[in-house]
Homo-oligomer: A and B are copies of this chain.
Amino acid sequence: MLNRLEMLRIFCTAAESRSFKEAANRLGISPQAVTRAVKELERLQGELLFHRNTRHIQVTLVGEKFAVIAKERLRAVDELFQTSVPNSGNELQGRVRIAAPVGFGHKCLMPALLELSTIHPQLDIDLTLSDERVDVVDEKIDIGIRIGFMRDSRFIARQLTKINMYVVASPDLINRVGRPASIEDLNHLPVTGLVDCNTGKLWPWVFSMDRQWTPSITRFRSADAEAELMGVQNGLGFAQIPDFSAQDLLRQEKLVRVLEEVEPVPWDLYIYRPQRGPVPQRIRLVFDHLVSRLSVR
């Protein structure tokens, strides 16, 4: 008999996804496994939980109600396996190598890792922050975090959240030079730029309908996102910043969003690790901890 807990987990994830394939990706399993789990659950419940065809899925009313209860109880059981602090067994000793984008690392990842280190002092976290494309296998990384696409079946990937890209500037700057009304206006306004370490060129800004705009003349540019952000805060120019970097400053009204109507579709943030095999407990522990902490947004 299928693992009932996993069945519920799969069902709940599918209920929050636009397709079984998406649910499968989020869980790091195959689409067939999703189909099987949902079918078996429907058989046990004696009810259809999804209306579906090859083009889209729709939770039934029964399925929605069931999902609410199931998610809660699933969480309650999962807690039984997470709340306790394990003994310092050998399995939790050892290094965990993590790679993540710089900005995300500073803003979101470090708090989660500090929390983890408090709980598990014996873990040895080896964190590589880089905006370069890091290969998990070749660089001997245990866990990676990446923005964009995960079309590589070598990895178990889970989507953590969505990353929005905002165009922002300081209020002072906007008072001085006005707000851009279109993407083209950026050509005549001071902007900062983030340098792509791989190419030495500036990252293009992305907009809705796959439009792109690359700064040519910048007031400030750097490969260091932190430095760019400082420049933006100090009125050096407009910049396109991921929401996790900008949101606190936006909340404090130290930065202002512009060109909101042409914002691009959000990018996916993934956490991934090498293809399954015997995974050390400490890797799994860190992976699961990061999934749970970084998904809450």
Residues of A within 8 A of B (CB): 3-5, 8, 43-47, 66, 69-70, 73-74, 76-77, 80-81, 84-87, 89, 281
Contacts and interface: CB of A to CB of B under 8 A. Distances in A.
Contact of A46 (B4, B66, B74, B89): B89
A290 to B, nearest CB: 18
Given A73-B76, A76-B76, A4 B81 contact: yes
Nearest to A74: B77
A109 to B, nearest CB: 25
B47 A77 contact: no
A86 B66 CA distance: 14
B44 A77 contact: no
Contacts of A47: 84, 86-87
B69 A8 contact: no
Contacts of A4: 3, 5, 77, 81
A61 to B, nearest CB: 13
A85 B44 CA distance: 9
Given A76-B76, A77-B77, A46 B84 contact: yes
B81 A77 contact: no
A84 B45 contact: yes
**Nearest 9 A-B pairs (CB), nearest first?**
A46-B86, A46-B87, A5-B5, A73-B76, A45-B84, A3-B3, A73-B77, A4-B5, A44-B81
Given A3-B5, A4-B81, 10 more contacts: A4-B5, A8-B80, A45-B84, A45-B86, A46-B84, A47-B86, A66-B80, A73-B76, A73-B77, A74-B77
A71 B47 CA distance: 27
18 contacts: A3-B3, A3-B4, A3-B5, A4-B5, A8-B77, A8-B80, A43-B281, A44-B86, A45-B81, A45-B86, A46-B84, A46-B87, A47-B86, A47-B87, A73-B73, A73-B76, A73-B77, A77-B77
A242 to B, nearest CB: 34
A28 to B, nearest CB: 14
Contacts of A74: 77
A30 to B, nearest CB: 17
